Each structure stands twice: as structure tokens, then as C-alpha cells.
């Protein structure tokens, strides 16, 4: 195994190498084929879904010395320069640190003159971080774009981009990868690296990263460099602390004492409610899927069986009520640091009430006629 990180070594260099995103790849290929590219594009979507990589590939293809129809050759001097990040016709700018009006004006001056390539492609990473004044400066460039210049705005938060700028960009939405796409890519990498890895481990990685391909490849790199090749080793290495199944089980039993003990132990080990809320939300989603006749798609059959057992015990309307509690909790814990455990315990009391109903009455004070919110409980 080389010293080069897998995420860099196996970063896609052609559109066909990009896993998923079929709708995006098809349109970009046609743009390369016809050499008709709008002056401004916006690539939006979660991190690690291929936005920057696709922008690089588009820039490489438009300037490839082999004059390709749909994809860069990856071997000419121009393609190699883009892959190394020093291509003179493909500029990458971190808008989070260079998103001032002054920087955008400098950029405007820089792209006014061709340096020999057929296209000048400018990637503005974290485009939503630009100031309002910078957006207005960029707007003036987009209103009268230099010839053969393409601006690509890369963002995880397109709602923060000035509407007048967005209206001049062709939108491309990069979707989270499916678990199957991620596993397929990881299998491709371990085959080339000649690694022996338990297939269940790849599924566990895909499940953990929640649709982020780059995160998955980096996680694979991390576990293989430490000699981990099984799900058991993976859980031990990262101290996986998903207690959602136990918590929902105790809530269904109305066993608040055991639930509070689980929460106490969790906070002793992890100290943050965000992971617990995420795991509980994911579990409730899985239970709703099962109730609707679907497949929970979890890494192991043991986990799937546990979810099916829980789903058989709780009606859909109680799961929906639990979702509302978790959404409110997620909003609350985002703004507090010292009271996360208290917020989690108060939310758990509401979850017990939602799932177990009257069965929890022997374990806790009688519920009021009207259900209290988290905020009301915290102020009580």
C-alpha cells in the first residue's frame, strides 16, 4: 500500500470514474462534446459527493490536448497539470478565505485575457461563504462574461448564494451516494490495492458515512492502514456507540431507569448528544421503512433483525410522534453545550411517553393532560 492517501490516489479523473451522479455526468459530457458550456454553473450538494472532482474533470476535458469528445485523456500535459492542481486554465479558489470583493475584482482582471487554452475554468469552492459585495462583483462578471470562460460555484448551501447570481447559473444537484455505489467503489479500490477485507466491513463503512464517497474512501484508508479488516475490528477501533436500539427498546418497555442509565454511560464515553440524536433518528427512519414494507439496509443481518423486532412492536403513528421529538431535540442541542445531557434525558421522557404511553406511568410522574415541549420541560 502506497503512502499516498487513497482519496487522492483514486480521485476520479474521468466522468466514468465518478460513482453515481448519472444525471450530472450525462449533461457535462454533452457540453464537452459540443464545446457549448454556459458561462456559469452551480454544483450543489453534500460534501464528498464529487462536486470539485467533476469541476476539475470538466476543466480538463475542455482543455485536453487530445481534443476528446466526452472525457479528458488524463495523459497529456494539460490533463496532468489539472490533476496536479497547477493547470493554468483551471483555477481553484477557496471562496471561504478569498471571497472578498477585492479578490473577485482581481479574478475578473485575471480571466479577461486568455493564456492559450481553449477554456478558462474557475472553480469557486465554498461559494456560499462570499460576501454580499463579492457576489455583486461576481454578478457584473456573469452579466458580461469573458469569452470561453466558465465559472463553477461549488457549494453545500446554495440557499446562501445571492439569488441574482443563482439565476445566472445552470444548476447541478449532486446527490448523496447510495450504499451500493459506495460499496462498489470501495470494492474497486481494494481489488486494485490487493487488500483482503470482509465485505461486511465495506457495508459498515457505507452505512456510517451516510452517502459521502470521499468520507468512505478516507475511512477505508484509515482502517486498512491499521490492519482492520472486519466489522468487529471496525467497531472496536472507532468505539461505535450506537445505543439507539437499546434506548427505543427500553422506551417501549416504559423502563425509564434503564434508559437513563444508558444515556449516562453514553455521555461518559462520548460526551455529545449529536451522535445519539442522529442514531435515534436513523433508527426511527428504518422502523418507518420496515413498517411500510421496505428494507432497512443496515450493515448486518443481526442489526436488521433487531430493527424488524422493534418495528413489529410499535405502530407508525407513535414513530412519527418520536420523529417530532427528535427534530426538536436536534434543534435544541445545536445551540447548547452544557445542558445536552439534560436535554437528552428530557427528550427521552417524551419518547417514552410517545412509544409506551400509559405503560410508563409506573416509572414516572403522571403525564399532564397536554404534552409538554422540550423547552417547557427545561423551564419547569
Confidence (pTM): 0.70
The pLDDT assigned to 364 comes to 40
Q: Are 163 and 191 in contact (CB under 8 A)?
A: no
Strands ordered across the beta sheet of 120-125: 90-94, 120-125, 149-155, 40-45, 170-174
Dihedral angle of Cα 197, 199, 203, 205, to the nearest 10 degrees: 0
User: Is beta strand 40-45 parallel, antiparallel or unpaired with respect to 149-155?
Assistant: parallel
Q: CATH 1.10.8.60: does it fit domain 179-238?
A: yes
Helix (H) or strand (E) holding 40: strand 40-45
Instruction: Determine the pLDDT at residue 203.
Output: 86
- Domain 244-379 grouped into CATH 1.10.10: no
Q: Round the CA-based radius of gyration of the chain to a whole number and report it.
A: 25
Name the 3-class secondary structure at 302.
helix
- In the chain, DSSP assigns E strands to 40-45, 90-94, 120-125, 149-155, 170-174
- What confidence score (pLDDT) does residue 168 get? 92
Q: Going by CATH, does the domain composed of 6-174 fall within 3.90.850.10? A: no
In the chain, domain spans: 6-174, 179-238, 244-379
Distance CA 97, CA 94 (A): 6
What is the full per-residue pLDDT of the chain (380 aa) written as tens digits? 567 888 888 899 999 888 888 899 999 999 998 888 999 999 999 888 899 999 999 999 998 888 777 788 888 988 899 888 888 888 888 887 776 787 788 777 777 765 555 788 999 999 998 888 889 888 988 888 888 889 999 999 999 999 999 999 999 999 888 888 899 999 999 999 998 888 888 888 888 887 888 889 999 998 888 888 888 788 777 766 678 888 999 999 988 899 999 888 888 777 677 778 888 888 899 999 999 988 877 766 777 888 999 999 989 999 999 988 888 877 765 555 557 788 888 888 989 988 886 444 333 433 443 444 555 544 54
What is the 8-class DSSP label of residue 145? P
Contact 128, 156 (CB under 8 A): yes
Distance CA 132, CA 95 (A): 12
Q: CA dist 100 to 40, 43, 103, 204, Å? A: 19, 21, 5, 42
Predicted pLDDT of residue 115: 56
Measured CA to CA, the distance from residue 340 to residue 245 in angstroms comes to 20
Residue 152: its H or E element: strand 149-155
Give me 33's grid cell.
Answer: 462534446
| Equal fold, 6-174 vs 244-379 | no
| 10 three-class SS | coil
Amino acid at each position: 500500500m502506497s503512502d499516498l492517501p487513497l482519496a487522492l490516489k483514486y480521485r476520479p479523473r474521468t466522468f466514468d470514474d465518478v460513482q453515481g451522479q448519472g444525471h450530472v455526468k450525462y449533461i457535462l459530457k454533452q457540453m464537452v462534446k459540443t464545446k457549448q458550456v454556459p458561462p456559469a454553473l452551480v454544483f450543489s450538494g453534500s460534501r464528498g459527493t464529487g462536486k470539485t472532482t467533476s469541476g476539475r474533470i470538466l476543466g480538463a476535458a475542455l482543455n485536453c490536448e487530445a481534443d476528446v469528445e466526452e472525457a479528458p485523456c488524463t495523459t497529456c500535459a494539460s490533463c496532468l497539470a489539472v490533476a496536479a492542481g497547477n493547470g493554468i486554465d483551471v483555477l481553484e479558489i477557496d471562496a471561504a478565505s478569498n471571497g472578498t470583493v477585492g479578490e473577485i475584482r482581481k479574478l475578473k482582471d485575471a480571466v479577461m485575457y486568455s493564456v492559450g487554452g481553449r477554456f478558462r475554468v474557475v472553480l469557486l469552492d465554498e461559494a456560499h461563504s462570499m460576501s454580499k459585495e463579492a457576489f455583486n462583483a461576481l454578478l457584473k462578471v456573469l452579466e458580461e462574461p469573458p469569452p470561453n470562460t466558465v465559472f463553477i460555484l461549488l457549494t453545500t448551501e446554495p440557499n446562501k448564494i445571492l439569488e441574482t447570481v443563482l439565476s445566472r447559473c445552470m444548476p447541478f444537484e449532486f446527490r448523496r451516494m447510495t450504499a451500493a455505489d459506495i460499496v462498489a467503489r470501495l470494492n474497486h479500490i481494494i481489488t486494485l490495492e490487493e487488500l483482503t477485507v470482509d465485505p461486511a466491513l465495506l457495508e459498515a463503512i457505507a452505512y456510517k458515512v451516510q452517502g459521502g464517497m470521499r468520507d468512505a474512501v478516507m475511512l477505508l484508508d484509515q482502517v486498512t492502514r491499521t490492519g482492520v479488516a472486519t466489522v468487529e475490528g471496525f467497531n472496536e477501533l472507532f468505539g461505535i456507540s450506537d445505543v439507539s436500539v437499546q434506548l427505543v427498546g427500553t422506551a417501549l418497555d416504559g423502563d425509564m431507569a434503564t434508559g437513563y442509565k444508558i444515556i449516562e454511560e453514553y455521555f461518559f464515553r462520548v460526551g455529545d448528544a449529536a451522535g445519539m440524536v442522529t442514531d435515534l433518528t436513523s433508527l426511527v427512519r428504518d422502523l418507518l421503512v420496515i413498517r411500510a414494507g421496505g428494507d432497512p439496509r443496515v450493515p448486518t443481518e443481526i442489526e436488521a433483525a433487531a430493527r424488524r423486532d422493534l418495528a413489529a412492536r410499535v405502530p407508525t403513528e407513535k414513530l412519527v410522534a418520536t420523529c417530532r421529538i427528535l427534530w426538536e431535540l436536534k434543534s435544541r442541542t445545536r445551540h447548547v453545550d452544557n445542558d445536552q445531557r439534560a436535554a437528552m434525558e428530557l427528550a427521552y421522557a417524551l419518547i417514552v411517553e410517545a412509544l409506551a404511553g400509559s405503560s410508563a406511568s409506573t416509572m414516572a410522574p403522571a403525564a399532564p393532560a397536554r404534552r409538554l415541549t422540550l423547552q417547557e420541560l427545561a423551564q419547569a
